[in-house]
Amino acid sequence: MKVLIADDNVDFCSTISEIVSSFGYETVMFNDPDSAMNYLSENNREIGLALLDIEFGPSEKKTGLDILEHCRKKYPSIPVVMISGKGSIETAVKATKLGAVNFIEKSIVSKKRIKEVLESAVSRLESKGEEKEILHFLQVHGLIGNSKQMIELGDHVIRFGRTDLNILVTGETGTGKKLVAKAIHAVSRRSKNSIVTVDIPNIPKELFQSELFGHIKGAFSGATDTKRGLFHKAHRGTLFLDEIGDMPLDLQSNLLIPIEERQVRKVGSVESEDVDVRIVSATDKNLINEMKEGTFREPLYHRLRECEIYIPPLRERKEDIPLIVDYYLRIHNENFDEQKVFSPSAIEFMSEQIWKGNVRELASLVRVILQTVKNEEIEVSDVHKMLKTSSSSPIVEGKAEAYLSADRTLKEDLQQVDKKKIDATLKRCNGNVSKSASQLGISRETLHNKIRKYDLDVQQYRKNRK
């Protein structure tokens, strides 16, 4: 691991470098913010930790907090520790809010303290590495996001998937339960064999036993040959019972023995056959309530739910929406050899909606927009138009007033979106127009024009600077 040290005190910088090097780490030293930031732009992948002074000399326009903010935006995987000779609670709080993982004062810097900081950073990097692997695993299986909820979901999929326990996957419609089931199978010891899906609602009641357990020739009218059931086809693999909550009550008892004893009997046969299957089931229903109402058998519930994986709805992880949009955007551009993009305002607009159909609904809308909108950059108006024409995608109540009004034209609605976006960015950047323009992806001149257009007072944002 290489440690970047930035401090305007040359002697102190060298001392810290010697201490860090004594623990076996390589260091690079800089005495001004610009040099440190320039180095990071070319060599950020080499840096495992940054130690930054808060205050630089009076000739420097930037501070260590500027480097910290730059790192958090551009290189979020690099842990940053702030060092200050003028430590204060206010400065420490500000550094923490900007993303510093630790804060130490020069007056108490010691070899022991530096060692503690290094060990903490290494532990953090290992944790981040694990999280990165988890999120990559999920993405390979079409489950997109980097929120805490997704990391937890991925951890459960991997940990439970590697067992041979039966798993119940729960979550609202459109959250990706089938994708989770496939990911569970992929990480299991059964991955070399098949995962067989049983679409519970679409199996006729009179054919249920035949479909799942098979039948022998002559077992019933039309049984002209002996047939293997889905349990047989899933032998040594995974049997995925999709929409298990929709199974009629009078059929549920048929699953008890096959799941408990791993034995099935073909319709018309008197002999049982061993089957080695792992059961993964999924439902968007609350099976606890179903049991209370007498529509789901408790013995079956306990056999199916040796452990449970819950998939959160999209409204509980809205920070994943831009990543999901980008995922389907890249797929579209690759498949159709196009270079389409969504404007930042369009992505923010989609992020503010409550997607009742969850990821499935969002992905469907994105695909339709990309294939029907001719212009290369997709704007809020394009998304707005598609939402209005989709009966299943109403604009979210409670959020619509922030963007839309029946008393305004579409152009005026879009100006409201624009103004709110600029207002939020200026607040976040404490009135720094250059930083705001960079985050908005527009020039300073364009931003100044919009500030005048919307009669925004930049000084007001700067007064809020702490």
Strand, coil or helix: 4: strand
Query: The dihedral of CA 116, 122, 128, 130: what is its sign?
Result: negative
Q: Which CATH superfamily is domain 2-128 in?
A: Response regulator (3.40.50.2300)
**Which pLDDT value is given to residue 352?**
87
Q: Which CATH architecture has domain 148-312?
A: 3-Layer(aba) Sandwich (3.40)
Q: Which fold has domain 314-404?
A: Helicase, Ruva Protein; domain 3 (1.10.8)
Confidence grade of residue 193 (pLDDT, cut at 50, 70, 90) = very high
**Which pLDDT value is given to residue 392?**
46
> How far apart are the C-alpha atoms of 265 and 89, rounded to whole Å?
72
> How far apart are the C-alpha atoms of 295 and 247, rounded to whole Å?
9
> How far apart are the C-alpha atoms of 282 and 12, rounded to whole Å?
60
User: What does the domain layout of the chain look like in residue ranges?
Assistant: 2-128, 148-312, 314-404, 406-466
- Contact assessment for residue 155 and residue 313, using Cβ atoms and an 8 Å cutoff: no
Q: How many CA atoms lie within 13 A of 118 on its CB side?
A: 23
Average pLDDT, the chain: 85
**Which pLDDT value is given to residue 394?**
44
Residue 410 has pLDDT above 70, yes or no: no
Residue 393 has pLDDT above 60, yes or no: no
Chain position carrying tokens 């979550």: 171
Q: Name the DSSP letter for residue 306.
A: S
Residue 408 has pLDDT above 70, yes or no: no
pLDDT tens-digit series, residues 102-126 = 777 777 778 888 888 888 777 766 6
Question: Which comes out higher in pLDDT, residue 302 or 433?
Answer: 302
pLDDT tens-digit series, residues 130-140 = 788 888 899 99
Cross-strand bridge partners of residue 52: 6, 82
Q: Name the DSSP letter for residue 296.
A: S
Of 205-209, 354-358, 360-364, 435-439, the one with minimum mean pLDDT is 435-439
The CATH classification of domain 406-466, taken from the options 1.10.287, 3.10.590, 1.10.10, 1.10.510: 1.10.10
DSSP 133-190: HHHHHHHHTT----SHHHHHHHHHHHHHHTS---EEEE--TTS-HHHHHHHHHHHSTT
**Which pLDDT value is given to residue 40?**
87
Same fold for the pair 148-312 and 406-466: no
**Which pLDDT value is given to residue 134?**
86
In this prediction, what percent of the chain has a pLDDT beyond 70?
89
How many beta carbons lie within 10 A of that of residue 274, not counting itself?
A: 9
Residue 368 has pLDDT above 70, yes or no: yes
Average pLDDT over residues 384-394: 66
Confidence grade of residue 258 (pLDDT, cut at 50, 70, 90) = very high
pLDDT tens-digit series, residues 45-65 = 788 889 988 878 777 778 888
Confidence grade of residue 402 (pLDDT, cut at 50, 70, 90) = very low
Q: Write phi, then psi, for 215 (nearest 5 degrees).
A: -150, 160
Predicted structure pTM score: 0.61
> How far apart are the C-alpha atoms of 399 and 396, rounded to whole Å?
6
Q: Which two tokens stand for residue 238?
A: 């995974």
Residue 404 has pLDDT above 70, yes or no: no
Q: Which two tokens stand for residue 460?
A: 């007001």
